[in-house]
C-alpha cells in the first residue's frame, strides 16, 4: 500500500511539473564550449573567436521577398555558433488562399544546424524565422521560401549564405561589414500608411501591424520622449502618410525611424 501511495505521489509531481520541464527543454541548446540558452533576436555568437560578416541577401523572383541576414560570415576558427535571421515579406496579407507556404533551411556543408525556430507570422505581411549554425569550415547553407500550392504569384525564393574560416579575420575587408551584435541583423521592415496611436500601449498601428515606440527620440534636431512623438502623430490629419522603419526584437516590432510631413524622427538611447 505504501509503495502505491509513493508511486502515485511521484506521478502527481511529474504531471504538475511537466509544462515547466517541457519549456526548459525547448529553450535548451548545446554549444561548444559550454551551453547557452536562446537569446533575443539579435545575432548571437558562441564559442569565442572573431567574426565579420556582410549584411543581407534577398530573393524577389515572385511577388514575395525572402531576406536572410547575414549573407556572408567570416570566422576566425571552427566551432563558432552564429545566428542567421530570416524574414519573408508578403505582397498579399496572410492568411491567403494558398496558405501552405513554408520556410526551410537546407543541409549545410562543413557546418551543422544546432537550433532552429518555428516560423512566426508577426503581422499579416511579415513572417520571421531564425537558426543557429556551428561553422566548421568553408561552406554554404541555403534558405528556401516556398509559395503556397497553386499560388499564381511565384513558386519559390532561394538565398544562399556563405561562410568561411580564415586565419586572420581582421585582415578581411568587407563592404558594409559590421559587428554581428548590431541590430541590423534583426528582422527588419518598413511600414507605410495612416497610423492609429495608442498611448497606453506606447505603440501605433499601421495596416494591421502594431509597432512599439519607446525611449528617447531626435526629430529634426529636437530631442523628444516617446510620448511626445506619439502625441504629435495622433494630431496629424487622418490622411497623412507615415513611414516607420522597425526591427523585430523580443517578440515585438520596435520603431527605429519615423518620417512624416518633412519630419524625420530617429530613436536614441533608452
Query: Could you tell me the pTM of the whole model?
Result: 0.54
CA proximity to 85, closest of 224, 187, 231, 189: 187
Contact 185, 87 (CB under 8 A): no
> In a 3-state reduction of DSSP, which class is residue 21?
helix
Q: For the segment 145-191, what is each residue's pLDDT rounded down to a tens digit?
A: 999 999 999 999 999 999 988 877 666 655 433 333 333 334 567 88
> In angstroms, rounded to a whole number, what is the distance separating the alpha carbons of residues 139 and 112?
11
How many Cα atoms sit within 13 Å of 144 on the Cβ side? 12
Q: For the segment 80-125, what is each residue's pLDDT rounded down to a tens digit?
A: 888 899 999 999 999 999 999 999 999 999 999 988 989 999 889 9
**Domain 43-173, second-level architecture:** Sandwich (2.60)
Say whether pLDDT at 70 is over 90: no
Contact 209, 253 (CB under 8 A): yes
pLDDT of residue 80: 87
pLDDT of residue 207: 86
Give the CA radius of gyration of the chain: 22
User: Taking the domains of the chain in order of start, what are their residue ranges?
Assistant: 43-173, 190-267
Amino acid at each position: 500500500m505504501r509503495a502505491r501511495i509513493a508511486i502515485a505521489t511521484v506521478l502527481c509531481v511529474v504531471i504538475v511539473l511537466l509544462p515547466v520541464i517541457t519549456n526548459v527543454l525547448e529553450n535548451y541548446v548545446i554549444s561548444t564550449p559550454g551551453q547557452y540558452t536562446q537569446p533575443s533576436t539579435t545575432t548571437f555568437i558562441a564559442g569565442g573567436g572573431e567574426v565579420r560578416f556582410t549584411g543581407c541577401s534577398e530573393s524577389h523572383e515572385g511577388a514575395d521577398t525572402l531576406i536572410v541576414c547575414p549573407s556572408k560570415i567570416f570566422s576566425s576558427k571552427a566551432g563558432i555558433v552564429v545566428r542567421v535571421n530570416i524574414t519573408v515579406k508578403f505582397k498579399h496579407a496572410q492568411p491567403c488562399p494558398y496558405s501552405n507556404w513554408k520556410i526551410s533551411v537546407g543541409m549545410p556543408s562543413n557546418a551543422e544546424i544546432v537550433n532552429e525556430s518555428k516560423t512566426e507570422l508577426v503581422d499579416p505581411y511579415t513572417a520571421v524565422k531564425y537558426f543557429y549554425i556551428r561553422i566548421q569550415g568553408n561552406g554554404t547553407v541555403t534558405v528556401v521560401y516556398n509559395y503556397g500550392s497553386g499560388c499564381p504569384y511565384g513558386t519559390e525564393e532561394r538565398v544562399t549564405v556563405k561562410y568561411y574560416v580564415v586565419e586572420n579575420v581582421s585582415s578581411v575587408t568587407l563592404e558594409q561589414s559590421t559587428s554581428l551584435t548590431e541590430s541590423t541583423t534583426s528582422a527588419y521592415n518598413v511600414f507605410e500608411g495612416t497610423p492609429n496611436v495608442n498611448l497606453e500601449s506606447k505603440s501605433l498601428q499601421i495596416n494591421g501591424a502594431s509597432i512599439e515606440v519607446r525611449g528617447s527620440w531626435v526629430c529634426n534636431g529636437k530631442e523628444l520622449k516617446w510620448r511626445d512623438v506619439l502625441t504629435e502623430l495622433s494630431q496629424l490629419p487622418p490622411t497623412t502618410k507615415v513611414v516607420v522603419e522597425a526591427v523585430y526584437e523580443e517578440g515585438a516590432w520596435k520603431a527605429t525611424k519615423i518620417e512624416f510631413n518633412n519630419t524625420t524622427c530617429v530613436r536614441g538611447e533608452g
